[in-house]
Amino acid sequence: MSESTNLTSMGEIEHINVEEVMAEFDRESNTRHYKGVPREIVRYILAGFSLYVFYMNLISAWPEQIRRASFVGLVIFMAFMLYPARKKSAKIENYVPWYDILLGVLGTGSFFYYVINFSSMAQKATRISSQDVIIGIIGVLIIAEVCRRVVGLPILVVASAFVIYAFASGYSINRIVYTLFYTLDGVIGTPIGVCSTFIVLFIILGSFLEKTNIGAFFIDIANSIAGFSSGGPAKVAVISSALEGMYSGSSVANTVGSGSVTIPVMKKTGYDKDFAAAVEAAASTGGQIMPPIMGAAAFLMAEMTELPYSTIAASAILPAVLYFAGIFLMVHFEAKKLGLKGLPKEQIPRFSKLFFKKGYLFIPIIVLVVTMSIGYTASRAACLAILASIIVSMFRKETRLTPKTFVEALENGAKNTIGVAAACAIAGIIVGIVSLTGIGLKLAEFLLVLSGGIDIIALFLTMISCIILGMGVPTTANYVIMATITAPIILKLIPDTPVLAAHMFVFYFGIVADITPPVALAAYAGSAISGGNPIRAGVIATRLAIAAFIIPYIFVLNPAMLLINTSVFSVIQIVITSTIGMFAIAGGLEGFMKKKLPWWQRIIAIIGGLGMIDPDIVTDLVGILLILIVVVFQYVIKDKTSQQKSA
């Protein structure tokens, strides 16, 4: 994307350099600059990688070790071609330093050494030679450097701590290198297996969807639904980000993509710049938990929990709706408090006309959901959805894919894969050490002792672990890490927890790392657009996303929230009571409903709301009683006072 020009609601033009914002806060966007012939060569190399992925998944019958090792080897080659060691080096056009060429060759060569010698390596087993050990060390260190460049340091620090633990536990370097490099328990373990099979295809699908301009369509749809209401632009941001985020797979990219349009309009409407950045960051992050796609996590969760995709998508609906209801209500109360208006009528598109004109852009998503629901594999469903996106793009001139945009979609898909693959490879190191040393059970036992056997404390400690592990990690890789490391801990600590509830719990808290200070990458990206304070925006975003910090505890302790072991009547009851609960919590946190809430009403509203969200008859009764007290003071008593004054 080049510098974009966006028209605000007041008719003023604002200029936002999207590329600069992405390069600053999204490491995956901080790539080298190529022009002319080198640019075309790089483009076709990346597009070729995407075609290789299709061949590998749809045609080849290679052993898993060869598939995964070749995938990582090619990712390393692309990474050193695109990502410099330091940000400022990216500005030098058509230049790759000699040491990056050397590292790229060594890293790619080490993994293809395994591909070429796979048969003999399988026979050697743990009796690997000194040469094998050296090559394995080179491969692990170079994929770690790729991760540092593309993803960041937090996950590397965690992985290094696990490796140090393995050495401290007395394991030899041969055993550690063998586990991490030459088995399916390390770098080419389950996370990379999932990445090379499912994640990469969903990333390519996202690239094709972007080329059809579905993001702009989502913003128009949101405008037609909520643009007219009080503080409409912020509500538009919530709706559009929920739609766009479910397929984007990146909170930061979603924040910058839709935020470049919505944040300037929110500011012109009258919202504080930090609040505007926080709304976009919280909503964009929440898009990752929005069914039916959930940033591809729904399909991965179906594979990793061995549950039907339809079960995953249905179970995720209510928590996601409550998340966005909480943000929407707080935005509404903030608008009422500030006396803000909606957009002018002439700037709001008509929903029926818009949907009739561009509704066909939903077809690829429908194809994806339907094919998964009837039992297709995630890979096959993603490929059919990509084919559908190509076909529907032909319906209108403004969305039509040309040969150039087709290649660009393949190119962007490959480029966006690098960071996720690097994170998954490093996650494989963590999983490999857990498998080798049994530290997973020891961690669970440690947390059990630390929590004193109290479930809520055990969950809190797991939450902290998820937020730390999820810092700066792309959504899909984030979930794979949580599913393989922290979900088993919950199942060990609280044995009665349904598998789906444990996976949802860790997924939610891995995702909110993007808005939780001090890292809060989505909040930083939003602040770069709004010109606000990133830490303050992160704090506000955390408050707006309060549902994400409450609901996971409830669906672990009471799985009815995920529609597990419940009836139709119970579902209806949960929907009604939870919605009322979010209304009270939003009002309490904002300090406003129909008028300003004094401190004691805010406390009562929040406690009552929490009681209503917990799917239990006793907490519901207590909650509704407390909320009624606040409602009476907010609505009934004010009305009586007004009548007395008018009399």
pLDDT in tens, 453-466: 888 888 999 898 88
User: Of 27-36, 102-111, 186-195, 257-266, which has the strongest mean pLDDT?
Assistant: 102-111
Residue 638: what pLDDT?
56
Query: pLDDT tens digits, residue range 327-337?
Result: 999 988 988 88
Rounded distance between C-alpha atoms, residue 485 and residue 465, angstroms: 10
End-to-end CA, the chain: 62
Asked whether the predicted pLDDT for residue 481 surpasses 90, the reply is no
580: pLDDT confidence band, cut at 50, 70 and 90?
very high
Higher per-residue pLDDT: 594 or 245: 594
191: pLDDT confidence band, cut at 50, 70 and 90?
confident
Are 216 and 240 spatial neighbours (Cβ–Cβ below 8 Å)? no
Residue 475: what pLDDT?
76
Rounded distance between C-alpha atoms, residue 448 and residue 399, angstroms: 54
The percent of residues above 70 in pLDDT, for the chain, comes to 93
H or E stretch including 183? none
Neighbours of 169 (CB within 10 A): 13
How far, in Å, are 126, 133, 178, 391, 437 from residue 175 at the CA level? 7, 9, 5, 51, 11
Rounded distance between C-alpha atoms, residue 177 and residue 184, angstroms: 12
Residue 10: what pLDDT?
37
The amino acid occupying position 643 is Q
Residue 457, C-beta contacts closer than 8 angstroms, at least 6 positions apart: 450, 451
Residue 27: what pLDDT?
60
Query: pLDDT tens digits, residue range 270-289?
Result: 889 999 999 999 998 888 88
Higher per-residue pLDDT: 134 or 24: 134
Rounded distance between C-alpha atoms, residue 235 and residue 60, angstroms: 47
Asked whether the predicted pLDDT for residue 549 surpasses 80, the reply is yes
Question: What is the pLDDT of the chain when averaged over all its residues?
Answer: 86
Asked whether the predicted pLDDT for residue 383 surpasses 50, the reply is yes
Q: What is the mean pLDDT of residues 411-424?
A: 92
Is 165 exposed, middle or buried (CB count within 10 Å of its CB: 0-12, 13-18, 19+)? middle
Asked whether the predicted pLDDT for residue 11 surpasses 60, the reply is no
Rounded distance between C-alpha atoms, residue 375 and residue 624, angstroms: 42
Asked whether the predicted pLDDT for residue 204 surpasses 80, the reply is yes
The percent of residues above 90 in pLDDT, for the chain, comes to 38
Q: Which of 5-9, 178-182, 440-444 has the weakest average pLDDT?
A: 5-9
Taking alpha carbons only, the member of 102, 111, 298 closest to residue 186 is 111
Are 345 and 228 spatial neighbours (Cβ–Cβ below 8 Å)? yes
- The torsion defined by the Cα of 225, 230, 233 and 237, in degrees rounded to 10, comes to -70
